Amino acid sequence: MGVDLHIHSQASDGTLSVEQIIERAERQRLSAISITDHDTVAGIDMAIKLSADRSLEIIPGIELSCVQDKKDVHILGYFIDYHGRELLDNLKRLRESRASRAEDMVNKLRDTGLDINYEEVKECAQGGSIGRPHIAQVLVKNGLVGSISEAFNEHIGSGGPSYMPKYVLEVTSVIELIHKVGGVASVAHPGVSNISEDFLLWLKEAGLDAVEVWHSEHNEVVTQKYIELTKKHNLLRTGGSDCHGLGKSRGYVLGTVCIPDSIIEPLESRSREIRTLRNIS
């Protein structure tokens, strides 16, 4: 048993299809998973359909990026009404600006002498949410760089010559948006984003419900630190591998972080509370 509440599919920048994700989750005997793609909920209907006659629960999820005080803060939403109009409108806007940002980054790469073509990047994203990993994959495929890591380290990583920031929403707006569709908001990989206790309290003030204490890049010490903080400040706990599939330099493997089934019920119950408070069915 166990759960994995942070998985990227081909609907954003993961390499696994929804079918492959479900298959692997079942093989690992997970009891629940959440596909938390960047700025899209396109994989969720298929996941729910495919899991219909299996003992695998699909929790509708999302991952949204924010920048606060020059720091990257990622917010995960769970038990969201993923057909909610306001959510879908915002996601569409975010994906459109991802596409124009990718096009601008391709132009920058071309200015530095790399012969990369935006159409190929778009094709790589297969109609999903376009991100830097797609640009990196095309650079590797065309032999313009030796690896995904090289693409990030030399060109498109934050501060790199062809890097461009993406349009993001304010953290407070993201938390509010998740609540508006009945979802529970959790701060992703706080150990990677370097979230301090003070900042966690600020996030809680903004409505944050939970903290992703288990994550592929959290060692035991970091996990324990955030578990203690959630207990001290009465926050819920979430966890996931942040799997992006195979062939990625950050290809954390689905289901390999040990996360207890017992985290699901409190999250679901918080979602019910939020729905009752806001009159959402």
Q: Does position 242 bind Fe ion by CB under 5 A?
A: yes
Site membership for Zn ion, residue 13 (CB under 5 A)? yes
39 touches which of ligand AMP, Zn ion, Fe ion, none (CB within 5 to 8 A by kind)?
Answer: none
* 209 lies in the binding site for Fe ion (CB under 5 A): no
- Give the footprint of ligand AMP on residues 166-205 (CB under 6 A): 166
Burial status of residue 61 (CB atoms within 10 A of its CB: 0-12, 13-18, 19 or more): buried
| Phi then psi dihedrals of residue 280, to 5 deg | -105, 140
CB of 72 to ligand AMP, least distance (A): 9
Residue 157 interacts with which of ligand AMP, Fe ion, Zn ion, none, CB < 5 to 8 Å by class: ligand AMP
Q: Which two tokens stand for residue 238?
A: 């979430």
* CB-based burial label for 191 (10 Å; 0-12, 13-18, 19+): middle
13 binds ligand AMP (CB under 6 A): yes
Six-digit token string for 245: 């599939």
Q: Where are the alpha helices (DSSP H) in 69-218?
A: 85-111, 118-125, 132-141, 148-151, 171-180, 190-193, 197-205
Q: Does 133 bind ligand AMP (CB under 6 A)?
A: yes
Which structure tokens are listed for 76?
């995960």
**Which residue is associated with the tokens 């030796």?**
146
Q: Least separation, in Å, of the C-beta of 131 and Zn ion?
A: 6
Least Cα distance to 151 among 137, 164, 165 occurs for: 137
CA distance 141 to 194: 33
Cα-based distances in Å from 130 to 47, 201, 250: 20, 32, 17
What is the 3-state composition of the chain as percent helix, strand, coil, each rounded to the nearest 5?
45, 15, 40
Q: For Zn ion, which is the closer residue by CB, 76 or 235? A: 76
134 binds, among Fe ion, Zn ion, ligand AMP, none (CB under 5 to 8 A by kind): none
Build a one-symbol-per-residue string for 73-112: x at contacts with ligand AMP by CB under 6 A, - elsewhere: ----------------------------------------
Q: Which is nearer to ligand AMP, 160 or 207 (CB)?
A: 160
Window 9-48: contact mask with Fe ion (x via CB under 5 A): ----------------------------------------
Partner from Zn ion, ligand AMP, Fe ion, none binding residue 149, C-beta < 5-8 Å depending on class: ligand AMP
Contact set with Zn ion (CB under 5 A)? 13
Contact set with ligand AMP (CB under 6 A)? 13, 38, 131-133, 148-149, 152, 157, 166, 244, 249-250
Contact set with Fe ion (CB under 5 A)? 63, 74, 188, 242
